[in-house]
């Protein structure tokens, strides 16, 4: 299973290190994050196949992180918690977690659950790597390489511009409000972000459109938001 990368998210380094040892013994690659914000940043930079996510963490807890992750990704999430109350388990599963373990957990059981989720992820065809390249009438995005090209010619985008393009191209035809774009891309609350988003949209159009004033791909829906044309 060396082709799989697991992201371990917990504010306790000792727990992260212990889980990393268990996973590496199974020939898996491991990334670590100490809270939900770090986890989301890593997910935007790395290819991850499964997340082991603690619930109680500073800055952004596991519940909030799961909610944000599920807005864009369908990778398996196994939640960890020191609590044993049913409310934590139910809430985690309701917002998109795939499985749940209570601390302290048996390492053998953890590995069994990880392998089970990875098998299901691959077998049911939800593995995002299968759809890592999106092509919309000559505009191409490669999620693994984090590259955008127009008719085969590479387009140089800033990280923020790339994230906007990736969001819109992942849901062609869907209109995203400025509020949605800002919170998904910048990963922070949206306050008076109209000009910020508009400036980035203008710069993206200058890079991907033949005629930025009459865009073929990145279109505005007045009073609603922006979309990537199918």
CA angle 112, 66, 136 (to 5 degrees): 100
* Other beta carbons within 10 Å of 58: 10
Cα separation, 65 vs 35, whole angstroms: 9
Q: Domains of the chain (ranges plus CATH)?
A: 5-124 (3.40.50.2300), 133-228 (1.10.10.10)
Across the chain, where does the E strand assignment appear?
5-9, 29-33, 50-54, 77-81, 99-102, 133-136, 139-142, 147-150, 153-155, 218-221, 225-228
- Cβ distance 77 to 53 under 8 Å? yes
pLDDT at 124: 55
pLDDT at 116: 86
pLDDT at 166: 92
pLDDT at 125: 45
Note down pLDDT in tens along the chain; length 230 residues: 557 899 999 999 999 999 999 999 999 999 999 999 999 999 988 888 899 999 988 899 888 899 888 877 778 899 998 766 567 767 777 777 888 888 888 999 999 999 988 887 776 545 555 457 888 989 999 887 788 999 889 999 888 899 999 999 988 899 999 999 998 888 778 888 888 999 999 999 999 999 999 999 999 999 889 999 97
Buried b (16+ CB within 10 A) or exposed e, 162-199: bbbbbbbbbeeeeebebebbbbbbeeeebeebeeebee
């Amino acid at each position: 299973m060396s082709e799989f990368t697991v992201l371990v998210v917990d504010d306790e380094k000792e727990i992260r290190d212990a889980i990393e040892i268990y996973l590496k013994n199974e020939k898996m690659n491991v990334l670590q994050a100490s809270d939900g914000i770090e986890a989301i940043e890593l997910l935007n930079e790395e290819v991850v196949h499964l997340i082991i996510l603690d619930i109680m963490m500073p800055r952004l807890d596991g519940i909030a992180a799961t909610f944000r992750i599920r807005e864009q990704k369908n990778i398996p999430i196994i939640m960890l918690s020191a609590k044993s109350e049913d409310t934590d388990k139910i809430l985690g599963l309701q917002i998109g977690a795939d499985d749940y373990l209570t601390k302290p957990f048996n390492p053998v059981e953890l590995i069994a659950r990880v392998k089970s989720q990875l098998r299901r992820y691959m077998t049911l065809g939800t593995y995002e790597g299968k759809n890592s390249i999106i092509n919309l009438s000559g505009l191409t995005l490669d999620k693994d390489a984090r590259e955008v090209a127009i008719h085969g010619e590479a387009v140089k985008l800033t990280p923020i511009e790339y994230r906007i393009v990736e969001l819109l191209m992942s849901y062609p035809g869907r209109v995203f409000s400025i509020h949605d774009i800002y919170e998904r891309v910048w990963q922070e609350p949206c306050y008076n972000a109209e000009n910020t988003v508009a400036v980035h949209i203008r710069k993206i159009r200058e890079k991907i459109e033949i005629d930025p004033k009459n865009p073929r791909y990145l279109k505005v829906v007045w009073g609603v938001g922006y979309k990537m044309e199918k």
